[in-house]
């Protein structure tokens, strides 16, 4: 039986805060619940002064969820609201990084100094290859001579350090500016690099928003032609904050051809349209399977679903990326296919995409 939202919420209702006796769903502690491919992910908003009790609640939730039929993995992220929380959760960096005060009168979306354009790469559903597309697009744009930054804002599963083969941690010599890392011609920062190893993740500042603002405003990006933002799946706090606080020049929506992924992609498009972010277009990932031994093509997840949807919604179909073993191996190995074998047919799609975006002054 597939995992349902209802089953997960009902299970979480049996986890009770010992202080109040209230369950963690009723108290509003459970946020951004996502269920997909056997993985349950959510954020628990906590009072960091009660860290050890909250760790116990998290463990309780994990053990109850992990025995549910169809559950292969549980990922719970702790976040804290208060200043106390921020202090308690300070990551183990040599110098604590102070949040910079917002400039006066800066309520609407702002331009980030030095960054010409911001492109958000989004997906409605997890695991559709959004990070793979973001990494390859960033590298392909760099190969076209663009100055490219990549901000991995996927707080629920940051994967860019691995995809770009970056393992060091960012430093902050003055405690204010954060120095990003660089590989394959791409300047990168990941929320995954801002936390230490196995530690429970509790972001500094008010929830996830503080983290995003910090990465956007305090990272020394240098002059960039384009900053690609790899968003978490869905339409949660990170997406809203990005669009509310920063001028996002366009969004690219990645989807597989399957109906379920498309349905979620539509919600993503709706959100960007409501936030007045132009949709650059959609990308169909895992479009066609190309056998790495014989080159035979087959449509594992169907084919053309995204093209049809893009047409219906009146947005361009930017690319159809094949499902190819080499794309996964290259990503897992830290050298995206666009760098490892730029002339291979499965990489060419990214080169074409980069060229189109440059030609249309989108990137």
CB of 246 to ligand ATP, least distance (A): 21
**3-state SS, residue 345:** helix
Q: Binding marks (x or -) toward ligand ATP, 108..147, rule CB under 6 A?
A: ---------------x--xxxxxxx---------------
**Residue 93 · residue 175 · CB < 8 Å:** no
162 near ligand ATP (CB under 6 A): no
283 touches ligand ATP by CB under 6 A: no
126 vs 250, beta carbon nearer ligand ATP: 126
Smaller CB separation from ligand ATP, 124 or 210: 124
Residue 346 DSSP code: H
Query: Which residues, numbered 307-336, are part of the site for ligand ATP (CB under 6 A)?
Result: 321, 323-324, 327-328, 331-332
Min separation Cβ 212 and ligand ATP, Å? 16
Judged by CB under 6 A, the number of residues near ligand ATP is: 21
Element (H, E) at 176: none
Give yes or no for residue 299 binding ligand ATP (CB under 6 A): no
Residue 165 binds to ligand ATP (criterion: CB under 6 A): no
CA–CA dist 123, 142 (Å, integer): 23
Least separation in angstroms between CB 254 and ligand ATP: 7
Token pair for residue 105? 């009168």
Residue 129, marked binder: yes
**Residue 112 to residue 30: CA distance in whole angstroms:** 32
* Residue 159 in contact with ligand ATP, rule: CB under 6 A: yes
Residue whose CB is less far from ligand ATP, 300 or 359? 300
Q: How far apart are CA 28 and CA 252, in angstroms?
A: 31
What CA–CA distance (Å, rounded) separates 257 from 180? 35
Q: Does 285 bind ligand ATP (CB under 6 A)?
A: yes
Is 130 labelled as part of a ligand binding site? Answer: yes
Please answer whether residues 253 and 123 qualify as being in contact, where contact means their C-beta atoms are separated by less than 8 angstroms.
Answer: yes
The dihedral over CA atoms of 185, 354, 236, 262, expressed in degrees to the nearest 10, equals -140
Closest CA to 249 of 335, 120, 104: 120
Minimum Å gap between C-beta 39 and ligand ATP is 8
DSSP string, 261-280: HHHHHHHHHHHHHHTT--EE
Instruction: Say if residue 147 carries a ligand binding annotation.
Output: no
In angstroms, the CA 308 to CA 15 distance is 44
Contacting residues toward ligand ATP, per CB under 6 A: 123, 126-132, 154, 157, 159, 233, 285-286, 321, 323-324, 327-328, 331-332
Give binding residues for ATP as ranges: 124-131
């Amino acid at each position: 039986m597939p995992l349902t939202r209802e089953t997960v919420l009902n299970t979480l209702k049996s986890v009770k805060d010992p202080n109040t006796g209230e369950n963690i769903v009723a108290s509003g502690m459970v946020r951004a619940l996502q269920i997909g491919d056997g993985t349950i992910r959510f954020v628990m908003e906590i009072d960091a002064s009660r860290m050890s009790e909250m760790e116990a609640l998290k463990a309780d939730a994990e053990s109850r969820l992990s025995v549910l039929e169809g559950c292969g993995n549980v990922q719970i992220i702790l976040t804290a609201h208060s200043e106390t929380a921020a202090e308690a959760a300070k990551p183990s960096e040599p110098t604590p990084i102070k949040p910079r005060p917002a400039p006066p009168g800066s309520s609407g979306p702002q331009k980030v100094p030095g960054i010409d354009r911001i492109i958000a790469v989004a997906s409605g559903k997890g695991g559709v290859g959004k990070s793979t597309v973001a990494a390859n697009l960033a590298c392909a744009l760099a190969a076209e001579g663009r100055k490219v930054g990549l901000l991995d804002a996927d707080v629920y599963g940051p994967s860019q350090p691995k995809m770009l083969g970056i393992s060091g941690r960012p430093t902050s010599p003055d405690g204010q500016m954060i120095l990003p890392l660089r590989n394959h011609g791409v300047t990168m920062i990941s929320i995954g690099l801002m936390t230490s190893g196995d530690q429970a993740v509790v972001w500094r500042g008010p929830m996830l928003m503080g983290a995003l603002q910090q990465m956007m405003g305090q990272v020394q990006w240098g002059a960039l032609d384009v900053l690609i933002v790899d968003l978490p799946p869905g339409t949660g706090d990170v997406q809203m904050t990005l669009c509310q606080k920063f001028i996002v020049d366009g969004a690219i929506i990645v989807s597989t051809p399957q109906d379920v992924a498309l349905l979620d992609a539509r919600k993503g498009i709706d959100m960007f349209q409501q936030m007045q972010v132009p949709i650059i277009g959609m990308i169909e990932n895992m479009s066609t399977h190309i056998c790495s031994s014989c080159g035979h093509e087959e449509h594992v997840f169907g084919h053309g679903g995204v093209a049809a949807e893009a047409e219906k919604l009146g947005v361009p179909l930017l690319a159809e990326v094949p499902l190819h073993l080499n794309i996964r191996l290259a990503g897992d190995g830290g050298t995206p296919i666009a760098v490892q074998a730029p002339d291979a047919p499965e990489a060419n799609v990214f080169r074409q995409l980069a060229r189109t975006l440059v030609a249309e002054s989108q990137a």
